[in-house]
A and B are shown apart, each in its own frame.
Chain A
């Protein structure tokens, strides 16, 4: 694409891209730390993860300030306006991803002393890896302005939903087996839900990348697989 006649406008748009890339990098790192702290039952790592969320918040505020000034100063239109507005919206999604990851780390702190059943951790790890890949791919699609890649992320989220469904059932089983598992399993259940929500935010970002590049919103319904909200839970009578 041709550059703006006003070079400082071009510089500002590049700075905006750098900021969003930096936010994305922080969110990716935080998600990794949060899961590892859960897996290793490592309070120090969990505390570090909780602390690093404030970096993402700070970056979001800076980006928001920059966007406000740019709109006032440049009165952007067409692709520039889409660029600026979608980056602002994506920053909101990344900030939420940071919050959700931080919440996982907090739960890791709460259950640090308890022993974890191995299959649960394996399931959580598998789900997190899927979401991490989605986050990485969607951030790449943003940096490359690659609609195909964004659409792949958008379509792949139902696998995360399916994984969440199976974890949900597994956790219910553990809780029913022994009420002493309920505390741990509840934290795991919220943790899994947070990861699933992070997956949803990656699809939001994918939709924004699509809009940024094409100027068209995706109007189709996204394939979804989370059926837990309509699952009836019955306790076996003893």
Chain B
């Protein structure tokens, strides 16, 4: 056995011991983002595990949404935005020029703050993604995808008799779950959620939180939230951002019971100012 093979085995062994048994789904190394002259994200390094919920918290303008948008390259749509560093998903560099961004965004679904269903029927909202990605061969397959996606989004029972109604006719909470169903329909690995409950009432929020808890067994979910209690309830790991830096990332229990950094402590307990 040559020396490099020994080194590889040793480094794999060390990685296995230190990785908490779960390999990272998303890995960010020295990620920097500039909007023109503004340095919005500074040297972000983080490992996001698969099949779990990671929450990003921090005051407005701290860079958490910017970082979230790096993970499916939504920032590409902003002409002044410039991203450096490395982000990989399953060890694949997502900023590799040969990578198909459309395929990436199918793998990395996104749910926004305000529910934004297409002005189409409930059925078409969910069917849109699978049809443009050519995931189905016939109507029966499409029906099945629509049904399972709506079931996974805990919306099927509420809409199964009115699939032809417009998506915009649903209540806010239902619209948000429709958007989650739409994201799930293209069979992503990762779901990004940018303050998914901030426009919802407490009951709808509770439904979406329950849904997140169910989805985490099959997906890697990354959620940006301003509600500290929501982060504590739904996530297993939490990262705190401040002024463009990732200050602290740890198990949610540690962040909310005994954070290491004073800035984290001051922010979560309402002392920032």
Contacts and interface: CB of A to CB of B under 8 A. Distances in A.
A75 interface: yes
Nearest to B254: A215
Given A77-B232, A78-B265, A4 B258 contact: no
A5 B209 CA distance: 28
B271 A78 contact: no
Contacts of B269: 4, 76-80
B257 interface: yes
B256 A2 contact: no
A1 B259 contact: no
Interface in B221-273: 228-229, 232, 256-259, 265-266, 268-273
Given A75-B229, A77-B228, A78-B265, A5 B270 contact: yes
A151 B265 CA distance: 25
Contact of A78 (B229, B268, B272, B273): B268
B257 A78 contact: yes
B156 to A, nearest CB: 33
A177 interface: no
B273 A215 contact: no
Given A215-B257, A215-B258, A79 B265 contact: yes
A109 to B, nearest CB: 47
Contacts of B257: 77-78, 81-82, 215
Contacts of B266: 2
Listed residue (A2, A78, A82, A215) with the most chain B CB atoms within 10 angstroms of its CB? A78
A3 B258 CA distance: 18
Listed residue (A1, A82, A216) with the most chain B CB atoms within 10 angstroms of its CB? A1
Contacts of B272: 2, 5
A6 interface: yes
Listed residue (B256, B266, B268) with the most chain A CB atoms within 10 angstroms of its CB? B266
B29 to A, nearest CB: 29
A190 interface: no
Contacts of A82: 257-258
A1 B266 CA distance: 9
Interface residues of B, number: 15
B59 to A, nearest CB: 11
Contact of B271 (A1, A75, A216): A1
Contacts of A6: 270
A3 B256 contact: no
A78 B259 contact: yes
A2 B228 contact: no
A9 interface: yes
Contacts of A78: 256-259, 265, 268-269
Interface string A201-218: 000000000000001100
Contacts of A77: 228, 232, 256-257, 268-269
Contacts of A9: 270
Nearest to A214: B258
Contacts of A5: 270-273
A2 B269 CA distance: 10
A78 B256 CA distance: 5
Contacts of B258: 78-79, 82, 215-216
A82 B257 CA distance: 8
Nearest to A3: B271
Contacts of B232: 77
B235 to A, nearest CB: 14
A234 B258 CA distance: 53
A224 B52 CA distance: 45
Nearest to B272: A5
Interface string A73-107: 00111111110000000000000000000000000
B205 to A, nearest CB: 15
B69 to A, nearest CB: 28
Interface of A: 1-6, 9, 75-82, 215-216
13 contacts: A1-B271, A2-B271, A2-B272, A4-B269, A4-B270, A5-B273, A75-B229, A77-B268, A78-B256, A78-B259, A78-B268, A79-B258, A82-B258
Given A5-B272, A77-B256, 13 more contacts: A2-B266, A2-B273, A4-B269, A4-B270, A4-B271, A5-B270, A9-B270, A77-B269, A78-B259, A79-B265, A79-B269, A215-B257, A215-B258
Among all A-B residue pairs, the 5 with the closest Cβ atoms: A215-B258, A2-B271, A80-B269, A77-B256, A4-B270
